[in-house]
Structure 1
Amino acid sequence: MALRLTLLASSRSSSVLDVRFGDSRSLDAAGWHEVKRAGPSLSHLAAAELRYCSPSVRCRETGLSLGLSPVAQPALRDCDMGRWSGYTLREVAAREPQSVQSWLSDPRSAPHGGESLMTFIQRIGGWLDTRPVGDGSWIVAVTEPGVMRAALCYVLKAPPQSYWHVDAQPLSLITLSGRAGEWSLNLEN
């Protein structure tokens, strides 16, 4: 039987204009409010046999606030942005416009000295493909929005540039089913 894996995007730790590469800040007031408001509709996630999270503070806080008691998975960390970590896209683009353009247009480019988009997608795919497949097992993972985007690219075998066309809002859910190399996206009510 196939594994069922639900990915939940963490709640927010900053406003959209202050999103920083490699951000590991705690949930902000709006993020805490979102989790509290969404808690009842997400309570069913606690029934999963395994519950994981990305190692960032906001992912752990989101999972704990929902009663998931998730185990941090280092492989679910966000893309390593090297020397750009801690800066906003706007700040980096003002200093290194050609490097940002290269990063956005070439999935193998890593001008920041961290991971390329291609490497990031493959890392997340590797984590997906090594999940234990039991008899109808269900896993939930609270992740960074970027991890959800990378997982979708991997599962759908979409070109890496598709990453830029996926919008993972805070507390959005996707469910995948399958096993190593044979994944499907499930759209549920």
Structure 2
Amino acid sequence: MTLVAPVGTAALREARFDDDAPEETELREVRTRAGDLAGLSGTSGFRRVYTAPERRCRATADALGVHSVPAPELGDPDPGEWRGRTLAEVAAADPAGVAAWLTDPDAAPPGGEPLRSLLTRTGDWLASQAEEGGRVLVVAGPAVVRAAVVGALDLPPAAFWRLDVPPLSRTDLTGRGGRWNWRCATPL
């Protein structure tokens, strides 16, 4: 399974809880490099191709030239009432809430989704893909890629916060018989 993080957006750079559209200059770079992106352009060699519902993920898949199936279960965690605000703004207004969210996998933004829920749904989706077998390409946000690595390697939830997934990077998970291995993230 190859997981591709989408192009960067202003929201990602600002650490803002939002799904804004990617910048055209970054999408142009993806289109220009699509033929060189480690065999990811088109769907050649992949049995299934999925895209998370966020605009930046769909736009990245389109720029790569892949025909994908939408996978809502691969969506970013719901930030609830934090949507549209930066992490710094939320931390200034609710330091205890942010501290709990960063340390307790069952804590959630008000009206949002806890980390444990993201880990569970991502892990369930991984298990379903392992049962089907074959090469899979996924374009999903950094949080989902991190959750996939945590689940695949049976890491504790706290490890989620220790993984960095840069824009336009790939993470490869390989395995058989229910056992996953991680091939460290590298630039496309």
Q: Flag whether TM exceeds 0.5 (same fold).
A: yes
Deviation at 1:177, TM superposition (A): 2.1
Query: Counterpart of 1:71 in structure 2: which amino acid?
Result: V
Partner of 1:161: 158
Give the partner amino acid of 1:8: V
Give TM-score, length-normalised by structure 2. 0.87
Q: How many residues align?
A: 183
Give the aligned partner of residue 9 of structure 2. 13
Is the 8 Å Cα contact of residues 78 and 146 (structure 1) preserved in structure 2?
Answer: yes
| Structure number with higher relative contact order (C-alpha < 8 Å, ≥ 6 residues apart) | 1
CA RMSD in angstroms comes to: 2.1
TM-score w.r.t. structure 1 length? Answer: 0.87
**Counterparts of residues 6-155 of structure 1 (less than 5 Å):** 6-14=2-10, 16-21=12-17, 23-42=18-37, 44-45=39-40, 46-47=43-44, 48-131=46-129, 133-134=131-132, 137-155=134-152
Name stretches of at least 5 consecutive residues in structure 2 with no aligned partner: none
Structure-2 separation of matches of 1:43 and 1:117: 31
CA 1:104 to 1:72, structure 2 compared with 1: closer, same or farther past 3 Å? same
Unmatched segments (≥5 aa) in structure 1: none
Query: Within 2, Cα distance between the matches of 1:111 and 1:183?
Result: 31
Is the 8 Å Cα contact of residues 102 and 111 (structure 1) preserved in structure 2?
Answer: no
Contact 2:2 2:170 in 1 (8 A): yes
TM superposition shift of 1:118: 1.3
CA distance in 2, matches of 1:37, 1:18: 26
SS across alignment from 1:151: helix
- The counterpart of 1:184, out of the listed 177, 181, 184, is 181
* Larger displacement relative to structure 2 (103-112 or 115-124): 103-112
Is residue 55–residue 72 contact of structure 1 (8 Å, CA) maintained in 2?
yes
Deviation at 1:82, TM superposition (A): 1.1
* Shift of residue 159, structure 1, vs aligned partner: 1.0
Q: Percentage identity across aligned positions?
A: 37
1:149 Cα deviation from its structure 2 partner: 0.5
